[in-house]
């Protein structure tokens, strides 16, 4: 590909139109779609990405020239340029921001004038290969003998042998040694030894799933066909109960992909991207795996990205953004736990990695696998209508035993005359059934996980006399009491203040702490099981005392008997010695005003149930609930997804919610409440309130009406006609004026209402 005379550039940042520039003769080779360039804008220079080389420009004036272009291969492959344009259009977002999302910051900045290319370098020294022209001195002969072992780091060599760099430079000039400036790879896995693993013999269900995926892979290139691809097969939805061996199927599908000469991308939810997960891929494929994790250092991220870009690595593993890994000749994309909400980005562009993965797979004509024990209803519906193929794995790969689940009706257990446990509060948190089950585990040296959806000590603090509750001054939410540091904390903005000793309104002394958070569960557990080793894992702990990884390492090593935690512990962890999982407040999510509340509750209970009994001993799951008859709880406890989905899908159809419509959320923000409300109303008028082809919700305050001092109103739009919906949204966005500090944002395929 060689360049043309005009480059169309998407500037970094929020401008939504493109700019055309002329390409000086000297840069024509290097400026191609996907190149990063510096260009003039007004009186300054800025950076952007070339998205096309058009024949002509619509701009009537004289085009200004591109100033410089980054060296090396273009940052984005042609397929990724196309994907960025698609995202900008579909998610109604500036292309510049889409490109920004695709490139790690260090890669974006690479190659700019004077800024280096982002690689780390190091000097090495080695004996010259040719015979020297001059006779070495005695000292020089000695130095050469130290170099007999081969190339060494210059700094280390000088330090070890007490040689000055100048001496070596002189020897270089005399042709005795060679000094090289070598790129040093910053390896996120450096120092961790990973024992290689080989493919396991698959069971019948796994084999069938693998065959279906392999059938969807692009064919091996032949002499005649070259790399030409036929049309892509349908995406495969892999519905496998927890621990059914989905990962092993992915690994073997990737092996076949590599064998055919293609690369692969594996997306994993951020929270499941543990060293344990990464190790499974590295153990099978070694250096061919590149990890793209936001927690890598910027240097490591840069180098891993380039290893993929230059083809040294062929398998990218990472969270949401790894979807944009520059894997050329892409053959397979795997989205594990495809139902996970963390695949949706909550800032512009608000893309959903699963959905964009489907588009990338279509563009690149490669196979797509979506795996989950609890698929999203969107994917489930696609399988029903035949848009996706479906593979089912109904049994666990190891023990062939699903855990047995007990639903505990808290209306009965927590009744005052139930006679069970000491201490009023404890009974509301730990049912008799749960306490007995934990005691048995402690007796047998087995482990327990206890899950609660709320961190802190008490989620509501208020006055029993006048009814005052403690809410955040910046945000319209109740503050949570945290006992570690004896403060009230806002979970939206992080603000904190001390607990008042008397009620500020009426002077009442006994302030009440209502509800239960993880801290309180931990404390109650310590009194109930004084000899047990108990740890807690939630955002409060992992952001301060010790990391996520350390807590899990101790748990894995059997140094903890009971692990109490939030969502953090519910996902993807695999501990063979855990034989009991307790879900303390299974219904907390049901009360949320969100059409996906039941789906989320089902996922949570089923995933948590999947934590128990992953080894050779069977597991038990205890689900405490005040609504034992809710289908989301009853059916999740048995991992009966199909029955739950059938009923839930009917409900969605009746109420015109996804997967039967596209659902968009428009949020208006600003510092003055009236102005925000008024602007939201104008947006509704502009979108057209009465139209049978879509449903437009009235503007209402957001669930958290005020956050960080900013007021928020929102309205929802849904329609079965995606094109129409986009048209209305775009029309209204450009028609509505936003005075002062008001801003309007738009979330296409929004996941929630918050």
Helix ranges restricted to H, 5-125:
78-90, 95-102, 105-109
Strand partners, 581: 449, 621
Find the shortest distance in angstroms from Cβ 412 to ligand ADP. Answer: 34
Q: Which helix (H) or strand (E) holds 718?
A: strand 710-719
CA atoms within 13 A on the CB side of 678: 10
Q: Within 10 A of 186 (CB to CB), how many other CB atoms are there? A: 17
**CB nearer to Zn ion: pick between 384 and 705:** 705
Strand partners, 123: 181
Which residues lie below 8 Å from residue 380, measured CB to CB, with a gap of 6+? 237, 645, 649, 659
Q: Which helix (H) or strand (E) holds 704?
A: strand 700-707
- Residue number closest to ligand ADP, CB atom: 245
Residue 247's binding partner out of ligand ADP, Zn ion, none, with CB under 5 to 8 Å set by partner kind: ligand ADP
Q: Could you give the CA distance from residue 302 to residue 618 in angstroms, rounded to a whole number? A: 44
DSSP 8-state class, residue 34: T
Find the shortest distance in angstroms from Cβ 399 to ligand ADP. Answer: 9
Q: Could you give the CA distance from residue 350 to residue 328 in angstroms, rounded to a whole number? A: 25
Question: Contact residues for ligand ADP (CB under 6 A)?
Answer: 200-203, 206, 240, 242-248, 397-398, 574
67 φ, ψ to 5°?
-80, -50
**CB nearer to ligand ADP: pick between 68 and 247:** 247
**CB nearer to ligand ADP: pick between 217 and 243:** 243
Residue 118's binding partner out of ligand ADP, Zn ion, none, with CB under 5 to 8 Å set by partner kind: none
Residue 203's binding partner out of Zn ion, ligand ADP, none, with CB under 5 to 8 Å set by partner kind: ligand ADP
Find the shortest distance in angstroms from Cβ 503 to ligand ADP. Answer: 50
Q: Could you give the CA distance from residue 165 to residue 157 in angstroms, rounded to a whole number? A: 9
**CB nearer to Zn ion: pick between 11 and 478:** 478
**CB nearer to ligand ADP: pick between 190 and 557:** 557
Kindly give the interhelix angle for 275-285 and 246-259, rounded to the nearest 10 degrees.
40
Find the shortest distance in angstroms from Cβ 709 to Zn ion. Answer: 9
Residue 410's binding partner out of Zn ion, ligand ADP, none, with CB under 5 to 8 Å set by partner kind: none
**CB nearer to ligand ADP: pick between 76 and 236:** 236
Residue 475's binding partner out of Zn ion, ligand ADP, none, with CB under 5 to 8 Å set by partner kind: Zn ion
**CB nearer to ligand ADP: pick between 201 and 530:** 201
Nearest alpha-carbon partner for 518 in 425, 464, 584, 474? 584
Find the shortest distance in angstroms from Cβ 474 to Zn ion. Answer: 4
Find the shortest distance in angstroms from Cβ 527 to ligand ADP. Answer: 35
Residue 245's binding partner out of ligand ADP, Zn ion, none, with CB under 5 to 8 Å set by partner kind: ligand ADP
Residue 243's binding partner out of ligand ADP, Zn ion, none, with CB under 5 to 8 Å set by partner kind: ligand ADP
Find the shortest distance in angstroms from Cβ 198 to ligand ADP. Answer: 12
Q: Could you give the CA distance from residue 677 to residue 670 in angstroms, rounded to a whole number? A: 9
Residue 493's binding partner out of ligand ADP, Zn ion, none, with CB under 5 to 8 Å set by partner kind: Zn ion
**CB nearer to ligand ADP: pick between 300 and 574:** 574
Question: Contact residues for Zn ion (CB under 5 A)?
Answer: 472, 474-475, 490, 492-493, 495
Residue 639's binding partner out of Zn ion, ligand ADP, none, with CB under 5 to 8 Å set by partner kind: none
Find the shortest distance in angstroms from Cβ 442 to ligand ADP. Answer: 25
Find the shortest distance in angstroms from Cβ 490 to Zn ion. Answer: 3
Q: Is 18 exposed, middle or buried (0-12, 13-18, 19+ CB in 10 A)?
A: buried
DSSP 8-state class, residue 406: E
Q: Could you give the CA distance from residue 317 to residue 285 in angstroms, rounded to a whole number? A: 12
What dihedral do alpha carbons 223, 229, 233, 238 form, nearest 10°?
A: 80
Encoding tokens for residue 535?
């740890």
**CB nearer to Zn ion: pick between 172 and 705:** 705
């Amino acid at each position: 590909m060689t360049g043309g005379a005009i480059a169309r550039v998407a500037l970094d940042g929020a401008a939504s139109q493109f700019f055309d520039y002329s390409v000086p003769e000297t840069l024509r080779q290097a400026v191609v779609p996907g190149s990063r360039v510096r260009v003039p804008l007004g009186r300054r220079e800025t950076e952007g990405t070339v998205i096309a080389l058009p024949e002509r420009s619509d701009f009537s004036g004289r085009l200004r020239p591109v100033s410089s272009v980054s060296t090396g291969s273009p940052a984005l492959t042609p397929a990724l340029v196309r994907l960025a344009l698609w995202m900008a259009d579909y998610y109604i977002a500036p292309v510049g921001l889409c490109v920004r999302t695709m490139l790690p910051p260090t890669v974006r900045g690479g190659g700019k004038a004077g800024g280096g290319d982002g690689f780390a370098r190091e000097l090495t020294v080695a004996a010259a290969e040719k015979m020297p022209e001059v006779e070495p001195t005695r000292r020089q002969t000695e130095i050469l003998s130290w170099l007999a072992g081969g190339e060494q780091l210059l700094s280390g060599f000088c330090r070890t042998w007490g040689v000055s760099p100048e001496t070596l430079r002189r020897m270089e000039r005399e042709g005795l040694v060679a000094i090289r400036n070598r790129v040093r790879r910053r390896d996120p896995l450096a120092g961790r030894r990973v024992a290689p693993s080989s493919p396991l013999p698959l069971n019948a269900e796994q084999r069938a799933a693998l065959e279906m995926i392999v059938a969807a892979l692009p064919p091996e290139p032949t002499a005649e066909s070259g790399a030409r691809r036929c049309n892509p097969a349908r995406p495969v939805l892999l519905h496998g109960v927890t621990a059914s061996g989905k990962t092993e199927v992915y690994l073997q599908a990737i092996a076949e992909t590599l064998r055919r000469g293609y690369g692969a991308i594996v997306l994993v939810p951020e929270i499941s991207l543990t060293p344990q997960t990464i190790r499974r891929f590295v153990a099978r494929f070694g250096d061919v795996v590149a990890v793209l994790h936001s927690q890598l250092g910027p240097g490591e991220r840069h180098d891993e990205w380039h290893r993929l870009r230059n083809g040294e690595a062929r398998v990218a593993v990472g969270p949401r953004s790894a979807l944009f890994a520059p894997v050329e000749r892409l053959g397979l994309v795997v989205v594990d736990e495809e139902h996970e909400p963390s695949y949706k980005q909550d800032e512009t562009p608000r893309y959903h990695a699963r959905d964009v993965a489907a588009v990338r797979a279509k563009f690149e004509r490669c196979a797509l696998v979506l795996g989950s024990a609890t698929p999203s209803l969107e994917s489930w519906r696609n399988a029903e209508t035949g848009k996706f193929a479906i593979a089912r794995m109904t049994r666990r790969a190891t023990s062939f035993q699903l855990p047995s689940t007990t639903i505990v009706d808290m209306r009965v257990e927590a009744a005052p005359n139930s006679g069970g446990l000491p201490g009023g509060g404890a009974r509301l948190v730990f049912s008799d059934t749960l306490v007995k089950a934990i005691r048995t585990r402690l007796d047998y040296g087995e482990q327990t996980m206890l899950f609660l959806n709320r961190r802190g000590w008490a989620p509501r603090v208020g006055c029993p006399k006048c009814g005052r509750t403690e809410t955040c001054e910046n945000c319209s939410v109740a503050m949570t009491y945290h006992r570690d540091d004896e403060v009230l904390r806002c979970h939206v903005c992080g603000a904190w203040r001390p607990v008042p000793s008397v009620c500020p309104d009426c002077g009442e002394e006994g302030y009440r702490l209502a509800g239960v958070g993880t801290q309180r569960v931990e404390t109650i557990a310590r009194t109930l099981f004084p000899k047990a080793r108990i740890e807690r894992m939630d955002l409060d702990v992992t952001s301060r005392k010790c990391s996520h990884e350390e807590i899990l390492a101790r748990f894995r090593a059997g140094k903890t008997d009971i692990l109490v935690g939030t969502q953090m512990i519910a996902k993807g962890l695999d501990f063979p010695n855990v034989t009991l999982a307790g879900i303390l407040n299974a219904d907390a999510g049901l009360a949320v005003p969100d059409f996906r509340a039941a789906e989320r509750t089902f996922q949570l209970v089923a995933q948590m149930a999947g934590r128990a009994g992953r080894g050779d001993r069977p597991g038990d799951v205890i689900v405490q609930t005040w609504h034992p008859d809710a289908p989301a709880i009853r059916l999740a406890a048995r991992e009966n997804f199909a029955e739950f989905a059938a009923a839930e899908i009917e409900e969605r159809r009746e109420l015109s919610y996804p997967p039967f419509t596209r659902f968009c959320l428009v949020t208006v923000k600003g510092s003055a409440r009236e102005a925000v409300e008024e602007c939201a109303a104008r947006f509704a008028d502009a979108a057209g309130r009465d139209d049978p082809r879509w449903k437009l919700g009235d503007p209402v305050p957001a669930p958290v009406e005020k956050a960080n001092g900013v007021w928020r109103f929102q309205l929802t739009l849904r329609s079965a006609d995606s094109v129409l919906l986009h048209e209305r949204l775009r029309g209204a966005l450009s028609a509505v004026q936003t005075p002062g500090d008001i801003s309007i944002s738009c979330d296409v395929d929004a996941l929630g209402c918050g």
